[in-house]
Amino acid sequence: MAIQTATVGNLETVQNIVLAAVRFTAESATPCQNLIEHFTLGKGEKQLTIPKAAAVTFDSLVDGVDIVTSKDIAITTTDLTTAEVGGKFILTDKLIRQFNEDVFTMIGRLGGDAMARKKDKDIIALFGGLNGSTTLGVAGMNLTMINAIGCVSKAAALMYPEPVSVVHHPNAFSTLAKAAMAVGMTYYAGIMQGLSEELLRRFFKIQINGVNFFWDANIVPDSSDDGVGAIFSKSAMAILESQAMNVERERDASLRAWEVVTVADYGVFEIDDGYGAPMTYDCAALATTT
């Protein structure tokens, strides 16, 4: 009985370690989910419908002449739903005895990284559909300071709502970083208001005219080393959660093991594809011997 109690107590303790590690790594491991809108489904809800009102154009008026036309409110909607994502680890009693708490810390980190990577890649997959698939940049071209300013100017001209961010592969920022160093530290302002500096600090590269540039290694270049990042408003995309990450354990006595299962229920969507655009630039690895 004493052994059983000690075992249960130890598992309660390490369960907390798994939860803490999963939540920490999932929140801080990748940038994209911290750059878009977040919504949550309540109990008993299966769908979130987001309305959007089209812009209204006013007319020039003449003094003393009555306004005879009225304006329509044109509403379009986007329906958001969720789906489950997850995985499990099987830890034998022998493994737990040999590794003590370290094995639970390890799977907590692995589970958190896996969930964060899955969400991040799901969001990156939306980049190509922003702005009706109109792409900034071109295959084989470096993301120079001039090109970066051009992308930022495009967002300003189209009046993307702030905060606006750029996300691209680390290698794409190489030329940009060198150009920024040449002109001094002017471009290295802090992360603009409206974004979590604590969660995004390690991904922050540069700021140009109020637009933050973040690197994301989950962007996968094609066979020609070209990668598709994006410039977008926080309002362009959203993540909808029905259930935040949940970690449960289940005993398998005949296997003499514990199953640790991590599941989340979420979906990612374009809310307004006019508030973003994909950016295609070269992502070839930098030379390390020149």
Summarize the confidence of residues 271-275 as an average pLDDT. Answer: 90
Note whether residue 65 is domain-resident: no
> 205 and 166, same structural domain?
yes
How many Cβ atoms from other residues are within 10 Å of residue 87's Cβ?
A: 13
What was the pLDDT predicted at 1? 30
Cβ contact 91:260 at 8 Å: yes
CATH of the domain at 82: 3.30.2400.10
> 118 and 139, same structural domain?
no
What was the pLDDT predicted at 110? 82
Alpha-carbon distances, residue 47 vs 50, 72, 290 (angstroms): 10, 27, 54
- Over 60: is that where the pLDDT of 182 sits? no
Percentage of the chain beyond pLDDT 90 is: 33
Summarize the confidence of residues 117-136 as an average pLDDT. Answer: 89
The pLDDT tens digits of the residues spanning 216-255 come to 989 999 999 999 999 999 999 999 998 888 888 888 899 8
Q: 101-129 burial, b if ≥16 CB within 10 A, otherwise e? A: eebbbebbbbbbbbbbbbbbbbbbebbee
- Tokens describing residue 143: 């993301």
Summarize the confidence of residues 150-161 as an average pLDDT. Answer: 93
Beta bridge partners of 258: 91, 251
Note whether residue 289 is domain-resident: no
What was the pLDDT predicted at 191? 53
> 277 and 148, same structural domain?
yes
- Annotate 233-249 with DSSP letters as a single string: ETTSEEEEEEEEEEEEE
Note whether residue 63 is domain-resident: no
What was the pLDDT predicted at 23? 56
What was the pLDDT predicted at 43? 82
What was the pLDDT predicted at 198? 62
- Over 80: is that where the pLDDT of 264 sits? yes
What was the pLDDT predicted at 289? 78
What was the pLDDT predicted at 150? 94
Beta bridge partners of 89: 260
More confident residue, 187 or 169: 169
Q: Which domain holds residue 47?
A: 2-54+73-123+238-270
Note whether residue 26 is domain-resident: yes
Note whether residue 195 is domain-resident: yes
> 190 and 83, same structural domain?
no
What is the Cα–Cα distance from 18 to 177, expressed in whole angstroms?
Answer: 37
Q: In the chain, how many domains are there?
A: 2
The pLDDT tens digits of the residues spanning 48-81 come to 887 777 777 888 888 878 888 888 887 777 788 8
Percentage of the chain beyond pLDDT 70 is: 80
> 113 and 135, same structural domain?
no
What was the pLDDT predicted at 11? 53
Reported as a pLDDT band with limits 50, 70 and 90, residue 6 is very low
What was the pLDDT predicted at 3? 32
Would you give the end-to-end CA distance of the chain in angstroms?
66
What was the pLDDT predicted at 70? 84
Summarize the confidence of residues 84-101 as an average pLDDT. Answer: 83
- Over 70: is that where the pLDDT of 197 sits? no
Least confident window among 15-24, 160-169, 184-193: 184-193
Note whether residue 288 is domain-resident: no
